[in-house]
């Protein structure tokens, strides 16, 4: 079950869209996202009050790398294991600073992708503080891309 959206979300959403024109909607009135630099990191802010920094890879891309152009029948577990291995160098650059800053690390896997996600709760009713945290994420991850 998902958490309900915060009643403060519309105000925060408007403030963030003005402060960060690079944000885009993942769905109408839903989460906002932006790319962090050029190496594939994504920032996402959710209406429930969660900020995510994530790095992922499409399962199809991993299968293409593993099969070297030949159509092999690869198991999902095997592909996911390789995807996690593929993600580690990029994730390890930022893991320590994100964990020290209150983020919690998780691995998310679907049939389409594998992502390492760092999540942190934010106070949706405090737009200035959320904007500061977004700027910090942009500086920390975006600058080294």
Of residues 137, 135, 134, the one with CA closest to residue 94: 137
Give the helix/strand (H/E) hosting 33: strand 32-36
Distance CA 57, CA 55 (A): 7
pLDDT digits (tens, 9 = 90+) for 120-140: 999 999 999 999 999 999 998
User: Mean pLDDT throughout 47-73?
Assistant: 78
Average pLDDT score over the chain = 85
User: CB burial class (10 A; 0-12, 13-18, 19+) of residue 118?
Assistant: buried
pLDDT band at 144 (very low <50, low <70, confident <90, very high): very low
The order of strands in the sheet holding 41-46 is 24-25, 32-36, 41-46, 50-58, 113-121, 104-109
Instruction: Quickly state the pLDDT bin for 20 (edges 50, 70, 90).
Output: very high
Give the model's confidence band at 9: pLDDT under 50 very low, under 70 low, under 90 confident, else very high.
very high
| Residue 72: pLDDT band with limits 50, 70, 90 | low
Return the structure tokens found at 89: 């160098």
Percent of the chain past pLDDT 90, that is, above it, reads 52
**Two structure tokens written together for 106:** 């998780």
Task: Answer yes or no: are the C-beta atoms of 22 and 134 closer than 8 Å.
Answer: no
Q: Which two tokens stand for residue 36?
A: 């962090």
Complete DSSP assignment for 83-129? HHHHHHHHHHTTHHHHHHTT-EEEEEE-SSEEEEEEEEE--TT-HHH
Residue in the structure block whose two tokens are 């389409």: 112
Pick among 3.30.1460, 3.30.1450, 3.30.420, 2.30.30: CATH of 9-142 = 3.30.1460
Query: What is the model's pTM?
Result: 0.83
């Amino acid at each position: 079950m998902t958490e309900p959206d915060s009643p403060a979300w519309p105000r925060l959403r408007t403030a963030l869209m003005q402060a960060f024109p690079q944000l885009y909607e993942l769905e109408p009135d839903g989460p906002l996202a932006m790319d962090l630099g050029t190496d594939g990191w994504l920032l996402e802010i959710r209406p429930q009050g969660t900020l995510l920094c994530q790095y992922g890879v499409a399962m199809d891309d991993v299968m293409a790398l593993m099969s070297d152009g030949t159509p092999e029948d690869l198991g999902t577990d095997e592909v996911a294991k390789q995807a996690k291995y593929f993600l580690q160098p990029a994730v390890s650059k930022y893991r320590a600073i994100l964990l020290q800053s209150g983020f919690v690390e998780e691995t998310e896997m679907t049939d389409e992708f594998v992502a390492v996600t760092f999540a942190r709760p934010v106070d949706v009713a405090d737009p200035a503080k959320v904007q500061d945290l977004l700027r910090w994420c942009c500086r920390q991850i975006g600058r080294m891309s």
